[in-house]
Amino acid sequence: MTELDQSLDPSVNPSAVFEHKHTIDRDCTTLPRHVLQQLQSFSPEAQDLSAIMNRVALAAKLIARRLTRAGLMEDALGFTGRTNVQGEAVKKMDIYANQVFISSFEQSGLVCRLASEEMDRPYYIPENCPLGRYTLLYDPIDGSSNLDININVGSIFAVRKQEGDDIDRTAQDLLQDGRGQIAAGYVLYGPSTVLVYSIGKGVHAFTLDPSLGEFILSHENIRVPDHGPVYSVNEGNFWQWDESIRDYTRYVHRHEGYTARYGGALVGDFHRILFQGGVFLYPGTTKQPEGKLRLLYESAPLAYLIEQAGGRASTGAQEILDVVADKLHMRTPLVIGSKDDVALVESFIENGRRQALISPKAGN
């Protein structure tokens, strides 16, 4: 018997059986299976969440497939010539990805409404509505400015339970704080396609295995460091920021141990910080004091994830998950990442407020 045979023979190496089983289990932990394991239940609600995540995964696979061939396909890249509800130019991939999410949930019996930053109002699936009591909120393509130059983009999503009958189809029950989310996550389309999610029981990452066509568990119970070296912010807006944000930026410029990383796609920048620690900032500006990022489709889902990973998300004055939306496309400033780094940014903002109270001109 060779040395390798001996290491695999249970009579010689009893641990071989356990190690082999552990390896197979890890390789077979798909996203829907993981949801059921997390909930330790086969209840109707657990099966609903598992099925919803499976539909999100299907949408992610379709989008990933199109992105890998986008440069070779006609009408895959570039602008459509119209703007969305936020007044932003719409890219062809935005429209495709938005439709993919809708198509993935049609005839699923799970989701009655889908709300997206690409649509003025929620999209209702009538055949699902009598039974499907869930709503999917999503940003189909985050960072679409990166599409035409083949840099990372992503999708962001959150799941909420529908409250009330929504007879007038105004989706007023969605105008609540982010603690009403029952699941949230994102998909990063990069060298590999990674789906990260939470259902309130930690944060877990799955990598798409193209040979299997499945998302397989790759990182379980991710914890963001309390402090990290990365600060991620668009410094091109420096002179449009409040003085307190400029003071924070000057601080990290003058102190060792910080490194700037900004890729122009929230998902990519957030993914780095989730694993390495640090802080991402998108503060308000003189032109957009409320910030640029949408609360329901971007800020709240990622805030849900970062809190589950041991970090924090703030507007600079309030926890993101405590902010109550006043409209479907409400925007917020965002400071998100390691708890110590978020607290440092908040300290500069609070100091700026105190200075403004002492001398109003100091806040200008």
**The CATH number of the domain where 317 resides is what?**
3.40.190.80
226 near 305, Cβ under 8 Å? no
Quick one: pLDDT at residue 146?
78
Residue 78 gets which letter from DSSP? Answer: S
Quick one: pLDDT at residue 295?
97
Range of the domain at 171: 24-219
Distance CA 222, CA 224 (A): 7
Q: b/e per residue, 36-72, with b = 16+ CB within 10 A? A: bebbeeeeeebbbbbbbbbbbbbbbbbbbebbeebee
177 and 33 fall within a common domain: yes
The pLDDT of residue 93 is above 90: no
52 and 155 fall within a common domain: yes
Helix, strand, coil percentages for the chain (3-state, nearest 5): 40, 25, 35
Tokens linked to 163: 């409250």
Q: Which of 162, 189, 219 is where one domain is finished?
A: 219
251 and 201 fall within a common domain: no
- Of the listed ranges 61-70, 126-135, 140-149, 195-204, the least confidently predicted one is 140-149
Tell me the pTM.
0.87
Quick one: pLDDT at residue 86?
53
Domain count, the chain: 2
What's the chain's average pLDDT? 87
**Within-domain flag for 14:** no
Which of 109, 214, 194 lies closest to 154 in space, CA to CA? 194
236 and 357 fall within a common domain: yes
